[in-house]
Every structure is written in C-alpha cells, then in structure tokens.
A and B are shown apart, each in its own frame.
Chain A
C-alpha cells in the first residue's frame, strides 16, 4: 500500500501479502489424482517445475523470479511456502497454514506412483500403505 503526499511523491508505504481461504463456487467433476499430487501450484509452491531427485528429495524451480526488486519481495509471488517449510505470506485466520515439507513430500510421493497406479481402481491405491516400497520404481 502506498500513500502519496500532496506533491504526489511517496509519503508512506507498507507491504503485506495475505492469503485467505474460500469456496470458489466452481464445482465440477473432481480434479484428477495427478492434478493435485504432482502440482507445485496446488501444494503452495507456486508456478514452476518439480523434479524428483531420488532418495525422497525434490527440486522446485520457480517459473517466477525468486526475488522481485519491483515488488520488493524475496519469494515468488505465486508461492505460499517452499520445500524447506519457509512461510512467505500472512494468512487471514489463525488456524490457516500452508502444507509443511513433510506433507508436501507425502503428497508428491503418491504422485510418483500414479503413473502406473492411476486411481482408486488400482488395488495399490485402494489399499494405500505409505510403508510399502515399490518393487519397480527405485525411490
């Protein structure tokens, strides 16, 4: 927010990015499993590309600049958090939070399996067990 002076120059400013929760009222057929389980945007990382590094490690490359001197922020504008669990923005209620790194990794791991076990019609998904180790894909 900027307050100008009578001369039209910047007199006072402050910055605060806040996210809120809502029901968009755009009900439709459910998103696919992959749509959420492989999406950086959905998980709160913002626009960008996620790649699996093996050994449970993920790399996220933001589509936006990490730092914006124009906006004076040092995080991508579309992100809430990063893989290290840093929180970038305020949230409108006390009980709101982005996913934490552990949750993000848990969700993304399911995404790795979806290539072969596409949905709940597959017994692996139906009887999902996080401890189970895939005999085909080397994590």
Chain B
C-alpha cells in the first residue's frame, strides 16, 4: 500500500515536471500604467484604439477572464467576448471608474426597450387599449426575461422586429444579423486596421452603424443617404446583369437624390444628440418624446434644442454661427429660414419638413400572415419556434408626402 502511494507520488511528480516543461511562461509580469497586473498582455497582441489602449487598460477590465494567470484555461475563465453587451455592461463599460452613468441610461432608452414599437404594435392589433399610456412592460428586457409573456403581436415582434434593439447579442445569429446589436458596440464599434487584431471604439459613429437598423419602416436611414428600397429587381444594367445595389438582407435599392445634410457631410450623430440616442435617463414610450433636435435648433436658433441642450456642432466663428461636422470637422455655414416664405403668417402651422421633404417612401396596404406549419427564428430568445410570419404589401411608392395635422402642426403622414 505504502509503496503504491509512493509510486503514485513519483508518477505525479513526473506529470508535474512534464507539465512544467511544456508550460508557456511569461518573460515578465506585464503591468498597465495604472499598476494593474495584466498577464493577458504576455500572450495577446491585440491593439484597441488609443483611448482604450492595451498599455493603459489592459484586457481584463473589459473582457473579464483572470488577468493573474498564465495558463490559458485558467486565464480564460469567465471571458467575455463582447463587453458591451447590455447583460454584462454594468461591470464592464459601466464600471465605476469608466462610464458608470451610461448603462442605466442606455437600458432606459428606446433603442434598448423598443417600447414605442411594442406599444404601437400591440395597440394596432387590439391587444392593449387604444388610449396610449406608459407601459413599463413594453420592453425588450421584459420579453427577454419572461418567456411566458406572449401574444400574437409579441410573437410577430419577436420574429420580425426582434433584431433591432441594443439587447440583441452580436455575433449570435447568422449572416447579416450577426453584425447587428451588441449593446454599446452596436453603434460605437468600427473595424480596426488588420494588424491591430481588435476593432476600434469610436464616438464618431459612422452612418453605416445606424443604418444597420434604421432601414425599415420609415426607411429614413436609406432615404437620407439617397437610397430607395424599390420593388422588384435591378433591371439588367451592367453586362446583362442586375445593376442596382442590394442591401445585405437582399432588398433591392435604387439611387435617389440624397438629403442635403448628407451631401454636406453630416451623419446621424451630427444632429441627433447623445441624450436622444443613448437616452437622457427618462423612460419614454415614443420617439417624439425623446427626440429634441428640430430644424430650427440650428437654422435660426443658436444650437439649443427644445429641451435646452446644446448641439455640439454649432459653434461661433467671428460673429457668425457655423456647424462643424463630427466626422470630418467640416465647417459649414448655417442658414436661417427664409424670413418671408418660412415665417409668413399663412404658413405658421407648417413644419419645416412639410415643404422641405420632397419625397418619402410609402408602403401601401401592408399585410402580414402567420403560417403555423412553418417555424421561424425568435430573435429575442434565439430559438426556432412554430409559426412563421410573412410580410406583403399592395404597392410601394417614392412619392410626394401627404400632409396632415399633429396638434396644430402640419406634418408628414405616411401609411404604416
């Protein structure tokens, strides 16, 4: 017995020796500029952008894992691929020394809750009373956690709308869906140089990031860039094949005149404030409660929104107000509305858009059908569940807008 134990001990010792011989050791203990031990850096060569540079922050404050270990299986325990996912963001991006105020704000914002979409959809389908009020439960986070909450409208939402919110897990779904969502990085991530092996985080959100989602329903992300989702296909234009571009999801788009702001070099975040996109800490039902920028904020105004916040692009140069774009820092003159045409008392009820938006895509006769014999991916739960929804329409037009009234303002009305 004793001999057996001794033999076992010698065997173990051999195993330990071989293991030690094969073990990849670091040449020194890497330390970040703040003095944190970061063993990850002894293997990993990834270089994020300057603000989150490897020398200053290291890997583990964002990606978790165990920064004190060198053995891969120990070091990679609890590793987080996407630290910006809203499920973990309280500990990562939202850590006390980083961006602590953001997770709560963002989780309350409409891009995370989708409250407007859920509320409107359920109202249209007669599942909740017509009289709109604030409903806490109309929230993607609720649908995520309570799988029992279900209805026809919610089934539709889960399958056809469920990929356009900030809780959407980046990289979990196939094809173009894999590019969507991801919490903070749904907007803030851009590809890095190849040798960096790490994408870059940015505050200069390119329009492509916004349009990954904002390309359906009102299709403003497309219209703004001068694209119109047309019916049918691109007629043979180039070498006998379809010439017009297609979107990643296979929809056919045609080029139309772009928005003048786009032509001038403005992207979404030039107008839309951080408080609109990431939330201002309040929970809203509809986008019009959250949106605070107006045309007159910059055109005729001094850059102060209807909620009293400043648009950062509006600057004084000499005694003139100019607009400086975020991405290219282009300096643009700001024109005030025409004193006669725009300010004339016969036009006092007109919104700027009523005249200045010359075209809008309109989709008439939207129809949806649910076929219980097929299954479809529930983008909220990630499961294939019975019942597949299909969308049809009577016709789609790029047309002059129809006008109507919202309160005492003349606005653009579209079907949908």
Contact = CB atoms under 8 A, between A and B. Distances in A.
Give the contact-size bracket for chain B.
35 or more
B223 A99 contact: no
Contact of A97 (B286, B368, B405): B405
Q: Which of A17, A44, A78, A126 counts the most B-chain CB atoms under 10 A from its CB? A: A78
Contacts of B300: none
Given A2-B370, A17-B415, A27-B261, A44 B406 contact: no
Contact of A31 (B260, B344, B364, B400): B400
A21 B223 contact: no
Given A22-B220, A28-B356, A77 B371 contact: no
Contacts of A36: 354-355, 403
B357 A96 contact: no
Given A21-B413, A26-B360, A39-B400, A93 B406 contact: yes
B404 A21 contact: yes
Interface of A: 1-6, 8, 14, 16-31, 35-36, 39, 41-44, 71, 77-78, 80, 89-99, 119-120, 126, 128
Contact of A96 (B124, B346, B371, B413): B413
A26 B262 CA distance: 9
Contacts of B407: 95
Contacts of A43: 402-403
Contacts of A22: 218, 220, 360, 412, 414
Contact of B413 (A3, A4, A44, A94): A44
B403 A26 contact: no
Contact of B406 (A71, A77, A95): A95
A24 B223 contact: yes
Interface in B223-266: 223-224, 257, 259-261
15 contacts: A1-B370, A2-B368, A6-B373, A19-B404, A21-B412, A25-B259, A28-B358, A36-B403, A43-B403, A44-B403, A77-B365, A93-B132, A96-B405, A97-B404, A99-B404
B269 to A, nearest CB: 14
Contacts of B353: 23-24, 27
B120 A25 contact: no
A20 B259 contact: no
Q: Which 10 A-B pairs have the closest CB atoms?
A: A24-B360, A25-B224, A30-B355, A25-B220, A2-B369, A24-B357, A21-B411, A98-B404, A22-B218, A95-B407
B190 to A, nearest CB: 22
B404 A96 contact: yes
A25 B227 CA distance: 11
Contact of B367 (A1, A23, A25, A94): A1
Nearest to A70: B394
A20 B416 contact: yes
A21 B406 contact: yes
B161 to A, nearest CB: 15
B330 interface: no
A21 B405 CA distance: 9
Interface in B277-331: 286
